[in-house]
Amino acid sequence: MGIKYVENPTTLGTKILNRRLELGLFQKDIAELFGVSEDTITNWENERSIPQVQYYPKLIEYLGYFPFEVDTKTLGGKIKKYRFENGLTQEILAQKLGVNESTVFHYERNFHTPQPQIIDKLNTLII
């Protein structure tokens, strides 16, 4: 039984699978592209695991679009999109901003508004 293309994929795994099938590639080809094991690709496609954020820039390039639901009308959404496009963990972005990781978590969920000096740093990164 062959693997089938998923109509209207809703999960990241099925989006990865569909793109691989569209391109006529094997899991080993995608594994080489991402620098991971073939088992990792299998796990991604079968929803046993999800890619770590460090793979998101390559994933966005591979899929040809931004596959994550992020509300970029909010500052929190813009921060999260920037982080995903650049493959940054909340911890690494926090270091760049000079805040702690939980602060970035709260920014992304619009629980807190950044201080003016942090807004200035974010503007240089995001805009």
- Identify whether 5 is part of a domain: no
Question: What residue ranges of the chain have pLDDT lower than 50?
Answer: 1
| Distance from the Cα of residue 57 to its chain's centroid | 7
Residues 43 and 83 in one domain: no
In total, the chain counts a number of residues equal to: 127
Residue-level pLDDT at 127: 62
Handedness of CA 107, 9, 25, 66 (dihedral sign): negative
Determine the Cα–Cα distance for residues 15 and 83; give it in Å rounded to an integer: 20
Residues 54 and 79 in one domain: no
Q: Give the range of the structural domain holding residue 31, as residue numbers without chain letter.
A: 12-58
pLDDT tens track for 45-79: 999 999 999 999 999 999 999 999 999 999 999 99
Q: Domain tally for the chain?
A: 2
List the one residue out of 18, 50, 48, 46 whose CA is nearest residue 34.
Answer: 50
State the pTM of this model.
0.90
- Identify whether 69 is part of a domain: no
Residues 27 and 53 in one domain: yes
